[in-house]
Amino acid sequence: MNVGTDLIDIQYVMFTHRYRYFFIGLLSLYTFMNTALCNVYHYFSIDIEWYYALLTIFLITFGTWEANRLVNPFVKKRIPPEENRFRYLFTFFGTGLVISFILSFGIVMFIGAGLHHNTWSQNLNPLKLNLIYAGLINLFFHLLNTIFFFFSAYKKQWAEAEELRRISSQAEIQLVKSQINPHFLFNNLNVLSNMVMKDNPEANKFIEEFSKVYRYILNNHQKEVVELRSELAFIRPYIFLLEQRFAEGLKVDIQIPEKYNTYFIIPVALQMLIENAIKHNIVSRSKPLVIELHANGNQTLVVRNNLQPRAQQEFSNQIGLKNIMKRYELISDKNVSVKKSETFFEVELPLLNLN
CB 155 within 8 A of CB 7: yes
Contacts of 331 (CB under 8 A, 6+ apart): 1, 164, 224, 225, 352
Judged against a pLDDT cut of 80, whether residue 178 lies above it is answered with no
231-232-233-234 Cα dihedral, nearest 10 degrees: 60
Q: Which amino acid is at 137?
A: I
Measured N-to-C along each axis, helices 228-246 and 203-220 cross at an angle, to the nearest 10 degrees, of 140
CATH topology assigned to domain 179-350: Heat Shock Protein 90 (3.30.565)
pLDDT, tens only, 120-171: 777 677 778 888 888 888 898 888 888 877 887 777 778 777 777 777 666 6
For the chain, the domains span: 20-160, 179-350
Measured N-to-C along each axis, helices 50-78 and 85-109 cross at an angle, to the nearest 10 degrees, of 150
Q: Which amino acid is at 90?
A: F
- List C-alpha distances in Å: 254 to 2, 94, 214, 258: 32, 55, 21, 12
Percent of the chain scored above 70 by pLDDT? 80
- pLDDT for position 177: 45
Closest CA to 68 of 137, 132, 129: 137
Contacts of 135 (CB under 8 A, 6+ apart): 97, 100, 101
pLDDT, tens only, 74-133: 888 888 877 777 888 888 888 888 988 988 888 888 877 677 677 777 767 777 888 888
Judged against a pLDDT cut of 80, whether residue 235 lies above it is answered with yes
Residue 147: which H helix or E strand, with range?
Answer: helix 120-178
